[in-house]
Structure 1
Amino acid sequence: MLDRRRIGAAALRVVDEQGTLTIPALARALGVAPSALYHHVSGRDEIISLMREELTGATGGADQDWSKPWDQALEAWARSYLAAFAAHPGAVPLLAVAPLAEPFMHAMYEKVAELLLSAGFAEAQVMPLVNALESFILGSALDMVSPPVMVSDVTRETAPHLSAVLDQTPTDHTRAEHSFTLGLRAMLTGFGHLLPDN
């Protein structure tokens, strides 16, 4: 039976495999005619919304412990967000530019907004902080599926400083993980310095 949940999951698979989303390709993946999809969705935008719902469910935001200190709760949210998008990197370009009109997204952002406001951040700071963090997470999700070595064929004689730091850079999948961990810690530390008592 075709339903909205199955459509969203199949759309994620299509984007992962093909790097783009078209109605005919999604219909083929589901084994139905394109017209059958329109009994459940109004079009491509709604399918993208279903993809977002699938990914949002994977972040565990609804089950997250938001009572932790703001930086710990935000770190847990960021890591779950990264894991969901790293599993479906093909969805990043689609979802990054699609407006967030869904109530389930509003509910998640409500939790984040409450967390940051309760911590003492100003109302005008909250969405810029969230946007900055999400931009970092989405870029990191793409980095997670990039080649382990991104800077190669460096000549030590012409780039001695770069060569020295590359000597200390992992050449396996841990490179992206270390980069995310360091970057996330730097962002959260920087956020903390924006609080009134810092």
Structure 2
Amino acid sequence: MARPRTPLLDRTRIAAAALRLVDDHGTLTIPALAAALGVRPSALYHHVDGRAGIIALLREDLCTSIAEGDYWDQPWEPALTAWAHSYRDAFAAHPGLVSLLATAPLTEPFLHVMYDRAVAVLRDAGFAEKATLSVITALESFVLGSALDLVAPSVMIDLVDQTATPHLAGALAALPSRPARADQAFELGLRAQLAGYRTLLAP
């Protein structure tokens, strides 16, 4: 049997190529993905429902390990702490996905199950039901920013004039080097956020 002129496609190969594209360029388009795979754009639609379907594939690849964690078998504070660390590590490995996935609706049932468990843990701990998703969303926003900070330049505030801004210069000098700088900020921010959440609980 003769070999096909175009490479055989499947969802795994499409997802891997899309992830490489986002990692390398920070963007995802159907024409660019088709070119990377050596096929016509129309060939992709036999396997995925357009760009939204490709984003769903990427989210499944990245978030399955986060969703399958056993965080929600613990009390709310260690649960959120473990979840935040796992979430940050996953997105730090592929920072280009942050804006792509964070702005796409969550339609995947496996993620719905994860959020359902998170809401249940918070509600059972005493958080008002109307506050549970706000708690989760605020934590996610912090985690995604922290993931980007992990891959940011080691010096984000540069060319500081020590004479004109001595307080800033001193604070910068006291910071550890990367990645400890990002880790320190993440741990401090996470502790502060959890402390703030405690105030939402009834005495």
Q: TM-score, normalised by structure 2?
A: 0.91
Q: Share of identical aligned residues, percent?
A: 56
In structure 2, what is the Cα distance between the partners aligned to 1:81 and 1:9?
Answer: 20
For residue 127 of structure 2, what is the aligned residue in structure 1?
121
Query: 1:5 touches 1:54 (CA, 8 Å); kept in 2?
Result: no
Q: Deviations over 1:150-191 (max 9, x none)?
A: 112212221121122112112322111111111111111111
Answer with 134-143 or 170-179: which moved more: 170-179
Q: Cα 1:194–1:19, aligned 2, differ >3 Å: closer, same or farther?
A: same
State the match for 2:58 in structure 1.
51
Shifted more, 181-190 versus 2-11: the winner is 2-11
Q: Match for 2:197 among 173, 191, 194?
A: 191
2:88, 2:10 → 1: CA distance? Answer: 27
Tell me the equivalent position of 2:35.
Answer: 28
Per-residue deviation, 1:4: 2.2
Alignment deviations for residues 84-120 of structure 1 (CA, whole Å, 9 cap, x no partner): 1111111111111111122122111111111111111
Shift of residue 28 of structure 1?
Answer: 2.8
Secondary structure, counterpart of 1:146 in structure 2: coil
**Residue 39 (structure 1) aligned with residue 46 (structure 2):** yes
- TM-score normalised over the length of structure 1: 0.93
Q: Which residue of 1 aligns with 2:15?
A: 8
CA contact (8 A) 2:71 2:83 kept: no
- C-alpha distance in 1 between matches for 2:15 and 2:115: 21
Q: Whole-Å Cα distance in 2 between the matches of residues 69 and 115 of structure 1?
A: 7
Return the match for 2:167 from 161, 164, 175.
161
**Matched residue type, 2:101:** L
Question: Is the alpha carbon distance of 1:171 and 1:63 closer, same or farther for their aligned partners in structure 2, counting shifts above 3 Å?
Answer: closer
Give secondary structure in 2 for the equivalent of 1:36: helix
Determine the C-alpha separation between the residues in 2 that align with 1:155 and 1:65. 46
Which of 175, 180, 189 does residue 181 from structure 2 map onto?
175
The alpha-carbon deviation at position 40 of structure 1 amounts to 0.9
C-alpha distance in 2, partners of 1:23/1:178?
Answer: 39
Q: What secondary structure is seen at the aligned counterpart in 1 of 2:72?
A: coil
Q: Partners in 2 of 1:6 and 1:105 — Cα distance?
A: 22
Gaps of 5+ in 1: none
Greater Cα shift, 71-80 or 25-34: 25-34
Structure 2 regions of 5+ residues with no counterpart? 1-7
Query: Which residue in 1 is equivalent to 2:5?
Result: none
Aligned residues: 196
Question: CA contact under 8 A between 2:71 and 2:80: conserved in structure 1?
Answer: no
